[in-house]
Structure 1
Amino acid sequence: MAVTTFVLSALFVPTASAQDLPVADPLPTPGASGLGLELTEVAQLPESKPVPPPTDARLRRHNRINYLGEVPDGSGRLFVPDMNGKLYLLDHGVQHAYLDLGAVVGPDFHSHRGLGSGFGFTAFHPKFARNGKFYTVHTETGSALTGKTPDLPSANSVVHGVITEWTATDPRADVFSGTHRELMRVGYASFIHGFQEIGFNPNARWWDEDYGLLYIASGDGGIGLTTTLPQDLSLPQGKILRVDPAGTNGVNGRWGIPRSNPFVGQAGKLGEIYAYGMRDPYRFSWDSRGSHKMFLGHIGEKAVDSVYEVRKGANLGWSEREGNWAYRKGDPSCGVFPLPADDAKYGYTYPVAAFDHNRLASSRPCADSGNALMGGFVYRGSKIPSLRGKYIYGEGVKGLIYYAEERDMRAGKPMATTREMMVYSGGQLTTLKALVNDPNRVDLRFGQDADGELYVLAKANGKIWKVTGARTFAACRSGHDHVSGATSARSWQPVTPALWQFPGREVVLAQPGVARPGPRRPFEYAVLKKGPEFGSVQIDAQVRLDTPVAESNRDVIIVFGYKSDTEFYYAHLSSDNKIYPHNGIFVVNNADRKRLDLQWDEARSVGAAPAVTDTAWHRVRVKHCADTGEIAVYMDGSRFPLMTAVDKTFASGRVGFGSFDNIGRLRDLRVHGKGVR
């Protein structure tokens, strides 16, 4: 009886519920889009340095350019602020310093500590051509901390964020001359997450209530993760503020509080607040030629970075929520958790797009993940039709460019799918890391001109590129030679004929192959003998994995570019994507198979999403462009490639089907290409 009691007790040991465990992988890695941006270099701005020299290597860059916009006066001049102190103008290819803000501010100008320190942003008034007014953000320390008082509640300040209004005597001049006045000063509790972007709604016309109102993204000062500050409506930190620079009913009479702001007249709440619950609201923009919605690129804490549709009075949830998940202050995992069952009662606004940090397993739980979402723009320009309606944004550290369809970005609806874009320069596929010649940190930013055309900036080398086109990956014409209906044994040459069956409409690998001498490569496959060798080729077929799902490491392969048993390409379609040999694009060139696909993340040991996870039939398409070496693999009719690669080892060859050590089958094979005879 005692033994029975012991067994029953063991069965009822309490275990942690899913609600109590952090979400290990909140979001899938953005998949490939098959779409690439053509970048054309337009400028490289001068080298600059913070003063005094910073100890943080992340601030030691070529310069710290962080935005590009167009002066709203019809001149076509572009403006670019450098956080190290100067505002530059690009006047149809000619660049010059327009304003040395750092010199004007003097010794209190702070740029050497904190990623957001220095000359943070510039916004030109929509009437700049007539009134000469523009606005800047910068940070101050030194004597400012004791000699100047913040305008809004700012306890325990170690740095001040300052918004200044400048009035140019001649708005058309190449160099600023005029007057300036301090508009607003707010203190922050650390050197990060202060004032970020400021700007005017470009959709507002002179008769709209929003016209001429200045939006101000104010971060949480780096302390939201341990406090309720972002949720406190009596404080300006962790909020988007909206003020009238021409008004006088704000503190000290230097700005106005719009009557339509959501918390005007409510006791204990700042009338300047437009939306709240933010950690680092880094960049916002409006879909000015489309939905007119305001989108915010928000940098998360340790797990998720998000894009929000910002509406008046919205609460984005920080620091109770991070992205679509619950955040728990003080949790040692620094992770995110499932939402509580009664979440709806809180009324939080959740993201319309997002990506997670994909932390390495070897990373300390609360260490900096090295990710930062760079908010961008919905493309509504006229030059690149394939980009229209796409919200283009990115990850700034690694220099990855993403997009989500604006039509799918709806507050209160499931998040839009985010996909990664490729980068081309001079017609050649490249990466931003390669363009800036820095494998560690790109410091990507975005810009936009008055025509809605996009720009890419990088602090790593201080260069600016214009997005001048878009390319579809592996878009070559395959040719007019065609093979189909090849299901008889005489059409195929297997490695081991006894393992294969040809029952009529299918090609069946009925028994698993075994490893053979020579380089590591698929154990068993059959090469299509019917028809010619192909150069550029498109292979369409249906495949099925007959190995039971319960077994691990299941795969079938599509062979192409086949020259010999030790010279060919293959696409490995697997139910596993966690080890090097699985679920990728490979080349065998008289040596062990080598992985080629761009989706493989060696540091995390993970590749593209598993291609085949069951025993059902799946459609597969493989495209190989011989001239460019571009290879793309598509599954189940998706217009987005699951895997992509670039390699020119083999410009032609035959196609085939097989596996390493599993069984499976193929049907409905169609091969289109340029025959090589």
Structure 2
Amino acid sequence: MSNPARWLVTIASAALVAASLAVPHTATAQPTPVADPIQDPLPDPIPSTLGITVDEFAQFPRTEPVPAPTDQRLMRHARINHLGELPDGRMYVPDLNGKMYLLGDDGVAHLYLDIGAAFAPEFISGRGLGSGSGFITFHPDFTRNGKFYTVHTEWGAGLTEPTTYPAQPGAAFHGIITEWTATDPSADTFSGTSRQVLRLGFRSQVHGFQQIDFNPTARPGDAEYGVLYLAAGDGGLGASSTDPQNTATPYGTLLRIDPLGHNGPGGAYGIPADNPFVGRPGALGEIYAIGMRDPHRFSWDPATRRMYLGHIGEHRIESVYDVRPGDNFGWSEREGPFLFQRGDARCGVYPLPSDDAQYGYTYPVAAFDHNPPPGHPLCSDSGHAISGGFVYRGDDLPHLRGKYLFTDLVDGRIFYTEASEMRRGRPMAQIYQLMVYTPDGQRTTMRDLVGDDRVDLRIGQDAEGELYLIAKANGKIWKVAGTQRFADCRTGHTRVSADGPRDWAPVTPAKWRFRGDQAILAEAGEARPGPRRPFEYAVLTDGPELTSARISAEVRLDTPVEVSNRDVIVVFGYQSDTRYYYAHLSTDNTIYPHNGIFVVDDADRLRIDDQWDQTLSYGAAPAITDADWHDVAVTHCADTGEIAVRVDGELVMTALDRTFAQGRVGFGSFDNIGRVRDLTVAATSVRG
């Protein structure tokens, strides 16, 4: 897990820099790292008790890539990747395989436009994860002018077409922005004309155009109104690319154009006069921001009008940026808030140099790292990629208001940060992982809902700001219909507490000392016959047996901090010496028996918490690393089986298990020493 001290130093370095228009036109000289790569660059997202209820909203027809793909990751039920709303209130969804659908009030999709057929046979969707008809957006005046814009990819004869700017050497496909004009904007099937707005040649079949969109917060008369943003990747050049640092090229940039203007190349579009690089010698006036590898999704917060962009990293870091004119996100000199070294065979990231402020890079306002499995080659895909999202400002979900929601599009995890904490030049916002519930209140995961480990999950939004989840794996869309709190059960009014030795039943009384409200395990426990389980503990005998319970106490580890595997446990649901739950609070989180939630059921202890990753061989962040007192709280909801463990008010572990619905509570350890004080339990008594 991450070293907190090292991370604070990194954040402090990142906080020294702010947005600057003094952007380098070409790649800067890179210092040679003198240290090894940072092994665990960022803290993990924190589990949240907040969950979202998702209700199935639409099912899309199966589609096939063209040509048949060689990469099985392209074999999805339907490659739907966005949901939006037309200015007239109808919803639309694009499929990378060439289809563009409208959704009726009944949630049934019908084909509005077949983009693949319109550009066949040059149209390609079967090579590269970003190939096909990637995005569609409608002009804010669509109901009057009938104009909307698409991005699609071509190969074959399409590669002979002239590009707006010189193609990258050995271009594998072209990304094309097309303007369509509907004869009847209110029709449910497109009929009209089209014209090419912009064409770029990308060297590989990934990292082409991603999102294209208009700023929905702009109003007529604003400089932003009717201006089209285009997220252009680096062309898949990877760590060798210097194009994103070159303002003379459009690759690895966010472009901003007026699609109805004429002062751009060939008169096909306009270049807004307020763009940050207009008039700068050698720079393209279309550029709004630079230094990007794969800018995936962007959106605007309706309340603050800030623009947030989710940026897919190379080897380690997935980032969210607060985007402003002239920003340089640093790729391929930086990956997230770290130094990136081109050509480094170790494929890692490094601390920022001491003179970093002079370069004027803009760093993320939130980020998470990949944490690849042990032995996994860092230079290969570890199966993580951010999809940017939205700041929720809708009315239906008050518990989400003010939160920026986004996903790991590969594994389907859903995250949020507080938008108020995403501030440039400050420590990055804490990322929390949301839980997912079915409409009947059953906790689930997006992997379970789609039936696939690769979810391909993105977030959509309607005009009212309500949220939707879009999965390629099974071609379904869910509406975020509500929120629910994990382990939020009523625990009743029965209260028990420990006031002295008469309230405790230790396994080995000679190893314990009792002082006031303290229970002190003064001697290390020893393994006992029977199932593998904690060696030594004392059970609180005061009061009746309990069902749903909230246990609170102050806990201290007395084993010296130099011992890496030091631990204490909180027992609950205790029925006998071989039947109970326990929360293991340890300095170590890298092996199966440490720092987790376990059940002992007449068999060796079994780990049941959500945080343990068998592949990576680590669990929740170390619970206790010092010799201080810490507030510990355990909530056990007997009816649902939900278990939550907090340390110093922060949720660290969660589990779902219904093995035991009642029992007593206790405190102990395996072979360490420690103490508990002020232990109280608010619970429902078994005898009512």
- Establish whether TM, by shorter chain, passes 0.5: yes
The reply to whether residue 673 of structure 1 matches residue 686 of structure 2 is: no
| Structure 1 SS opposite 2:266 | helix
Residue 353 of structure 1 is matched in structure 2 by 366
With normalisation by structure 1, the TM-score equals 0.95
Residue 604 of structure 1 is matched in structure 2 by 616
Residue 80 of structure 1 is matched in structure 2 by 93
| Structure 2 SS opposite 1:81 | strand
The reply to whether residue 136 of structure 1 matches residue 150 of structure 2 is: yes
Query: Aligned equivalents of 1:652 and 1:23: distance in 2?
Result: 45
Q: Would the aligned equivalents of 1:153 and 1:236 in 2 still touch at CA under 8 Å?
A: no
Amino acid at match of 2:225: Y
| Structure 2 SS opposite 1:62 | coil
Percent identity, aligned pairs only, is: 62
1:3-41 CA distance string (max 9 Å, x none): xxxxxxxxxxxxx99843211111011110111111000
Give 5+ residue unaligned stretches, structure 2.
Answer: 1-30
Q: Would the aligned equivalents of 1:305 and 1:354 in 2 still touch at CA under 8 Å?
A: yes
Q: Would the aligned equivalents of 1:285 and 1:294 in 2 still touch at CA under 8 Å?
A: yes
Q: Would the aligned equivalents of 1:559 and 1:570 in 2 still touch at CA under 8 Å?
A: yes
Q: Would the aligned equivalents of 1:219 and 1:281 in 2 still touch at CA under 8 Å?
A: yes
Amino acid at match of 1:242: R
- Give the alignment of 1:65-104 within 5 angstroms: 65-73=80-88, 75=89, 77-92=90-105, 93-104=107-118
Residue 44 of structure 2 is matched in structure 1 by 29
Q: Give the superposition deviation at 1:333.
A: 0.7
Q: Give the superposition deviation at 1:593.
A: 0.3
Which one of 426, 432, 438 corresponds to residue 419 of structure 1?
Answer: 432
The reply to whether residue 644 of structure 1 matches residue 654 of structure 2 is: yes
Amino acid at match of 1:34: T
Query: Aligned equivalents of 1:541 and 1:589: distance in 2?
Result: 25
Query: Aligned equivalents of 2:108 and 2:59: distance in 1?
Result: 11
- Give the alignment of 1:57-68 within 5 angstroms: 57-68=72-83
1:333-379 CA distance string (max 9 Å, x none): 11111111100000000000001011122112311121110100000
| Structure 1 SS opposite 2:460 | strand
Query: Aligned equivalents of 2:168 and 2:579: distance in 1?
Result: 68
Residue 106 of structure 1 is matched in structure 2 by 120
The reply to whether residue 377 of structure 1 matches residue 387 of structure 2 is: no
The reply to whether residue 316 of structure 1 matches residue 316 of structure 2 is: no
Q: Give the superposition deviation at 1:550.
A: 1.7
Residue 502 of structure 1 is matched in structure 2 by 514
- Give the alignment of 1:612-651 within 5 angstroms: 612-638=624-650, 641-651=651-661
1:440-494 CA distance string (max 9 Å, x none): 311011100000000001100000000011111100111110112x232211111
Q: Give the superposition deviation at 1:268.
A: 1.0
Query: Aligned equivalents of 2:478 and 2:573: distance in 1?
Result: 36
334-343 or 501-510: bigger deviation? 501-510
Amino acid at match of 1:593: R
- Give the alignment of 1:195-594 within 5 angstroms: 195-288=209-302, 290-426=303-439, 427-438=441-452, 440-484=453-497, 486-594=498-606
Residue 11 of structure 2 is matched in structure 1 by none
The reply to whether residue 20 of structure 1 matches residue 30 of structure 2 is: no
Amino acid at match of 2:131: S
Query: Aligned equivalents of 1:586 and 1:431: distance in 2?
Result: 21
Q: Would the aligned equivalents of 1:239 and 1:277 in 2 still touch at CA under 8 Å?
A: yes
Q: Give the superposition deviation at 1:224.
A: 4.6
Amino acid at match of 1:259: A
Q: Would the aligned equivalents of 1:487 and 1:502 in 2 still touch at CA under 8 Å?
A: no
- Give the alignment of 1:163-178 within 5 angstroms: 163-178=177-192
Q: Which protein has greater RCO, CA pairs closer than 8 Å, 6+ apart?
A: 2
Amino acid at match of 1:668: D
Q: Give the superposition deviation at 1:52.
A: 1.8
Q: Would the aligned equivalents of 2:59 and 2:108 in 1 still touch at CA under 8 Å?
A: no
Amino acid at match of 2:269: W
Query: Aligned equivalents of 1:68 and 1:422: distance in 2?
Result: 22
Q: How many residues align?
A: 654
Query: Aligned equivalents of 2:484 and 2:375: distance in 1?
Result: 37
Q: Would the aligned equivalents of 1:19 and 1:338 in 2 still touch at CA under 8 Å?
A: no
Query: Aligned equivalents of 1:224 and 1:550: distance in 2?
Result: 42
488-497 or 133-142: bigger deviation? 488-497
Query: Aligned equivalents of 2:649 and 2:438: distance in 1?
Result: 30
| Structure 2 SS opposite 1:622 | strand
Q: Would the aligned equivalents of 2:234 and 2:241 in 1 still touch at CA under 8 Å?
A: no
Q: Would the aligned equivalents of 2:555 and 2:630 in 1 still touch at CA under 8 Å?
A: yes
Q: Would the aligned equivalents of 2:642 and 2:654 in 1 still touch at CA under 8 Å?
A: yes
1:290-330 CA distance string (max 9 Å, x none): 11100000000001010001100111100100000011110
1:492-526 CA distance string (max 9 Å, x none): 11111111111222111111111111000000111
Query: Aligned equivalents of 1:597 and 1:224: distance in 2?
Result: 37
Query: Aligned equivalents of 1:601 and 1:224: distance in 2?
Result: 29
1:370-425 CA distance string (max 9 Å, x none): 11101000001100111011110011111111111100111121110111111111
Q: Would the aligned equivalents of 2:67 and 2:124 in 1 still touch at CA under 8 Å?
A: no
| Structure 2 SS opposite 1:578 | coil
Amino acid at match of 1:51: V
Residue 10 of structure 1 is matched in structure 2 by none
1:75-121 CA distance string (max 9 Å, x none): 3x211000001001112123201100101111000111000000000
617-626 or 25-34: bigger deviation? 25-34
| Structure 1 SS opposite 2:156 | coil
Distance 1:17 1:61, change over 3 A: closer
Query: Aligned equivalents of 2:206 and 2:109: distance in 1?
Result: 30
1:422-444 CA distance string (max 9 Å, x none): 11112110011100011x31101
Q: Would the aligned equivalents of 1:546 and 1:615 in 2 still touch at CA under 8 Å?
A: yes
Q: Give the superposition deviation at 1:153.
A: 2.4
Distance 1:18 1:159, change over 3 A: closer
The reply to whether residue 660 of structure 1 matches residue 670 of structure 2 is: yes
Query: Aligned equivalents of 1:512 and 1:341: distance in 2?
Result: 47
Amino acid at match of 1:615: A
Query: Aligned equivalents of 1:379 and 1:54: distance in 2?
Result: 37
Query: Aligned equivalents of 1:632 and 1:168: distance in 2?
Result: 54
With normalisation by structure 2, the TM-score equals 0.94
Query: Aligned equivalents of 2:677 and 2:482: distance in 1?
Result: 39
Amino acid at match of 1:193: H
| Structure 2 SS opposite 1:143 | helix
Pairwise CA RMSD of aligned residues? 1.2
